[in-house]
Every structure is written in C-alpha cells, then in structure tokens.
A and B are shown apart, each in its own frame.
Chain A
Amino acid sequence: MIEGGLVSDLIACALLIGGVKAMSHPRHARRGIFIAGVGMLVAILGNAVFGPTVTGVRSALALVAIALGGGLAWYESRRVAMTAMPQMVALFNGLGGGAAALIVLTRLFEPGRPAGLFLVFGCLALAIGGLSFGGSGVALIKLAGRWGKPLRFRFQNGVHALLVLVILGLGTGLFLHVGSRSGLVVLLAVLSVLLGVGAAAPIGGADMPVVISLYNALTGVAVGVDGLMLGNPALIVAGTVVGASGILLTRLMARAMNRSLGQVLFAHFGEVAGTDGSGSGTFKEMDLADAAVALAYARRVRVVPGYGLATAQAQHKLAELTELLRQRNVEVRFAIHPVAGRMPGHMNVLLAESGVPYDLVQDLEEANPEFPQIDVALVIGANDVVNPGARNNPASPLYGMPVLDVDRARRTLVIKRGRGTGFAGVENPLFSAESTYLLYGDARAVLGQLVGAVKSL
C-alpha cells in the first residue's frame, strides 16, 4: 500500500518540477503549467487511492470542501481583470499559508499529537504559515489600493523583534510542556498572524512586489516543513522547491530595484519622500496634432508603459497606435522596466493581453544604450521608473535604482493623468526637462485621439 503512494508521489514531484522548469521559458511556459497541473492531480489522486481508508461520509465531506474552495476560486480567478492579477497571487498565497497553519493546528489538538522534532517542525510550519497568511492579507489590501498610508511608528522593528521572541518562547513552552497546551497553540497562531500583518503594514507600495514574492516563498517553506512533520515526501519536495525558487525570485526583484531584502523589510521606503512632488521648473505641453506628427514622422520610437496605462485600460488603444506607426515604417519597440506595473513582469502580461507580440518588447539592458538614437520616447503612465534623479541625484530616495534613460532620447512625450507623483511619491525632474513635452489626460482618451490624428495625416 505504502509503496504505491510513494510511486505516485515520485511521478507527481517529477511533473511538478518539470512544470516549473518549462514555465521559466516563454516558449514552453504554457505547457509548463499544464504539466504541473497533471502532477498535482497525480499527487492528489495517488494519496486518495493509497492513503488512509476512510468512511463514505468523510470522503463526501472532503469533496464538498474541495468543491466549495475550488469553485469560489475558479469563479473569482476566471472573471478578474489582468490588472488585478497581483492581488490574486496574494490572495491564493495567503490561503495556502492558512491551510499550512491549519494542518498543524489540527495535529496539535489531537491525542496522538507530534512530539520531539516533529513538534518543532509543527511550530515552525504554524508560525511561518500564519505569518504568510497575515502578511498576504495586508499585501492584498495594499495592492488593491485600499490601505492608505503605510502604518509606521517609533520602535516598530523593536516591537516586531519582541513578537518574534514571544513566539519562540511559546514554541519552547510547548516543547517543555509548560502551561495549557491548547492555550499556547492558539496564542502562537494568533501572534504569528499578527506578526505577518505588522511586518507588511509599514512597507510602502513600491516595495510590495518584493514582499508578496517573499510571502510566496514563505508559504512554500511552511508547506515543506508541514511535509517534514507529516513525513510526506510530495509536500517536502514541492514546498521546498517553491521556497528556494521563491527566495531567488525575491532577490532578483529586489536587485532590479537596487535594494536589498533587508532595506525593504526594515528600512522603510518613502520615509524621506514626503513631498507632494509637483516639482519645480516649468512643464511644457504639446497639442495632440503636433504629437501625432512627431510620432508618425519619427524613424525610431520607444514606448515606455507604466501602471497608469493599465489603470486607464489603454493597452488596446496602444496596440492600435503601434500597428498604425509600424505600417508607416516607424520602428516601434516597447521598453519595459523590470518593475513596471505592480509586479515584475506584470506589464509584459498586460501588453501580451492586448496583442503586442513579445518580440517587440525590450528589457532595461537592451533599451538603455539605444535611447540616444531614439527620435521619440513615449512615456505612458510611468513615473518612478523613468526618473533621472535615480541616476544623478544622490538626495533622491530612488537614487541608485536602475531606470530607463528616456531623458536621453531626442524628444520625450509623456502622457500623464495629473500633476501628482508616482507610486513611491518622489519628485521627477524628467517632466520639466528641456526635451520633454506633456500630454495631460486619461491615457486611453489621449491614445485614442492620437490614433485618430495619425490616421488623418
């Protein structure tokens, strides 16, 4: 009986790892998620067939739970807009963390509860799962833009350190059989969730991608440690693979913003950047007809889209404008900053959705050396990722972050909704630069008018 379960787990692990591997290349990416999906089915069915024998009532109850959770998730994730994908990742990640914590709670309330090393694993999985649950909840609210200002107070890191110590103390208490067992367990769970909330609360919007990636890795770790407690190899392998790859992804993202993980978590971003940021200097506006001429008679155009493009739902208008310009033999490419959108790669997804082929898309390293030869750089709803202050103003909070050098293009057109600052709340000298012209308005409306103007040329 056990042999059969091990064989199905082995097949499942191979498929899950192979799936992730395939997902790391655009050509095979879609096949990858299906491979992983088959692996997941094998794991679930294998454990159902070779696992403990159960009564019909209990199997039926389990099916109801799967139908309920799966059905709601299916409904929600089918209809949600592509712009809200980061929130979905946060949501499902938090639920996974919650499930990992609940497994431990279940086991700790039972008579044949884990002891010794298994208890240590249990406490770890409970604490990490709870942390991930709480933190993902906060990330979800922040990514949806419903949080308001980051919550900050004095000695915040000290309070968090104290919480960590109390959690460790509770774990030790459980290990040494001090006090009420269920009381300690519940307190441990509650404080872990609280720590997750507390740790995410002070982090500014610009750093949210890194944080959600970190919580994703943490859920993986919690799942892996759950596997150690239960002695289940599929959980150990899949959880650990997610934990390790998630930590690597988190570091890649942090590096793309030129920040270390420590800075993200403990040196809270934006503390110095409290300006309203309308900036000094004068802004020059350009009317639509002139902008259309500038684009249509350019040889080389670079489009730099930001999250503002997505909030205005202007991707499709942009794709239309691109097609028009390409018919006029204008060389159009898209320059994407690694953290454009709300998560790394998010902008690529949004452009792909509107039908822009991904071979027209350049990353930062490809795009930057070309800007001095670019006739028009068209910036749409992007701000922090094109801020030259990051390159040349040591006083800027963004200083050191790699940015797209659109200020080096011969002319820069910026479509901007208002005079406000970006997500990080930092002033941008690009907008008052000599070669920059502003087109105020909703990105979708402005692009629509540009399409019309280019057509009539």
Chain B
Amino acid sequence: MNDAFVLLLAAFTGYEIISRVPALLHTPLMSGTNFIHGIILVGSLLVFFTAQGFTAQILAWVGIVLASANVVGGFVTTERMLALFRTGRQVEARDD
C-alpha cells in the first residue's frame, strides 16, 4: 500500500517539474526522460541475480543488454543535444 502513495506523489512530481518547459527543449527533454526510464536496468539486474531456471536466466540476461543500451544511448544522445545550446555570448567566447 505504501507503494501506492509513492506512485501518486511521483505522478504529481513528474507533471509539475516540466509544466513550464520552453518548446526549444522538448526534444532534449523527451530524450532525457527516455534516459531516466533506463532505471529499468536496476530491475533487470535484480531479476537476473535471482533467476533460477535456464529460460529465466536467458530472458533476464537479454533484458540487461536492452536496458544497458537504453541507459547509455539515452545519456549520450541527450548530452550531445544539450551541449549545443549556447547564448550569443557563449558562441562568441567559443569562437575566440
């Protein structure tokens, strides 16, 4: 039951923290939240470490591969996009 409260609060948090995001950040933010759900890697590791049957172990192992790709890919793409945003002053500073 405690988990239900956690879920409720997390849902409101998620809604609130991005309610005033400018359109120019929509794509990086989507990519960023795409990285956040890579937390599934924690779950994949957990079930792999506790899996007993052979099939279960194989499935869980494949899950780790997919989840790791989600984490790493999500991070790299988001970071690459965000590294590009600069103000006029920063652009001039870079060109000097």
Using a CB–CB cutoff of 8 Å, the interface residues on chain A facing chain B are 12, 16-17, 19-21, 23-26, 29-30, 32-34, 36-37, 40, 43-44, 47-48, 51-52, 54, 58, 61-62, 65-74, 76-78, 80, 82, 85-86, 88-89, 91-93, 95-96, 98-100, 102-103, 105-107, 109-111, 212-213, 216, 219-220, 223-224, 226-228, 230-249, 252-253, 256, 336, 338, 341, 343-346, 348-349, 352-353, 355, 357-361, 363
Q: How far is the CB of A130 from chain B (nearest CB, A)?
A: 13
In angstroms, Cα B66 to Cα A99, docked, is 6
Tell me the smallest distance from the CB of B59 to a CB of chain A, in Å: 5
- In the complex, besides A61-B48, A249-B26, 13 extra interface pairs with C-beta distance below 8 angstroms are A24-B18, A24-B20, A30-B83, A36-B36, A44-B45, A88-B73, A92-B70, A102-B66, A110-B56, A212-B30, A226-B43, A244-B11, A252-B26
Among A98, A241, A242, the residue within 8 A (CB) of B66 is A98
Find out whether the CB atom of B47 lies under 8 angstroms from the CB atom of A230.
yes
Tell whether, in the assembled complex, residue A23 and residue B87 are in contact, meaning their CB atoms are under 8 Å apart.
no
Between A and B, 6 residue pairs with Cβ closer than 8 Å are A34-B79, A85-B31, A106-B48, A110-B53, A232-B42, A245-B33
Majority secondary structure of chain B interface residues (helix, strand, loop or mixed): helix
Within 8 A of A (CB), among B76-96: 76-91
Contacts of B12 in A (CB 8 A): 244
B33's nearest neighbour on chain A, judged by CB, is A242
**Pick from A21, A61, A103, A249: contact of B43, CB under 8 Å:** A103
Q: How far is the CA of A29 from the CA of B85 in the complex (A)?
A: 9
Q: Which residues of A contact B50 (CB under 8 A)?
A: 52
Q: Is B14 a contact of A240 with CB atoms below 8 Å? A: yes
Residue of A77, A92, A93 with most chain B CB atoms under a 10 A cut-off: A92
Contact in complex: A106, B47 (CB < 8 Å): yes
User: Which of B68, B79, B91 contacts A69 (CB under 8 A)?
Assistant: B68
Mark B1-41 against chain A: 1 for CB-CB distance below 8 A, else 0.
Answer: 00100110011111101111111111111111111111111
Out of A91, A99, A233, A345, which one reaches B6, CB within 8 Å? A233
Residue pair B28, A349 in contact (C-beta under 8 Å)? yes
Cβ–Cβ contact A37 & B75, under 8 A: yes
Chain A residues, Cβ within 8 Å of B51? 106, 110
Within 8 Å by CB of A102, from B14, B20, B32, B63, lies B63
How far does the alpha carbon of A78 sit from the alpha carbon of B83 in the complex, in Å?
13
Q: How far is the CB of A78 from chain B (nearest CB, A)?
A: 6
Q: Give the residue among A25, A243, A244 with the most B Cβ atoms within 10 A.
A: A244
User: Inside 8 A of B91's CB, which chain A residues have their CB?
Assistant: 355, 357
User: Are A74 and B11 CB-contacts (below 8 A) given A19-B32, A111-B52?
Assistant: no
Candidates B14, B30, B44, B88; contact of A241 at CB < 8 Å: B14
Q: Contact: A103 with B60, CB < 8 Å?
A: yes
A-B pairs, 6 with minimum CB distance = A244-B14, A69-B68, A73-B73, A345-B26, A102-B63, A357-B88
Contact with A along B49-65 (1 / 0, CB 8 A): 11111011001111111
Contacts of A245 in B (CB 8 A): 14-15, 17-18, 29, 33
Q: Which of B42, B53, B79, B84 contacts A349 (CB 8 A)?
A: B84
Contact (Cβ within 8 A) B43 A223: yes
Min Cβ gap A128→B in Å is 12
Central interface residue in B24, B80, B83, by most chain A CB within 10 Å? B24
Out of B7, B19, B35, B65, which one reaches A36, CB within 8 Å? B35
- Name the residue on B nearest A34 (C-beta): B79
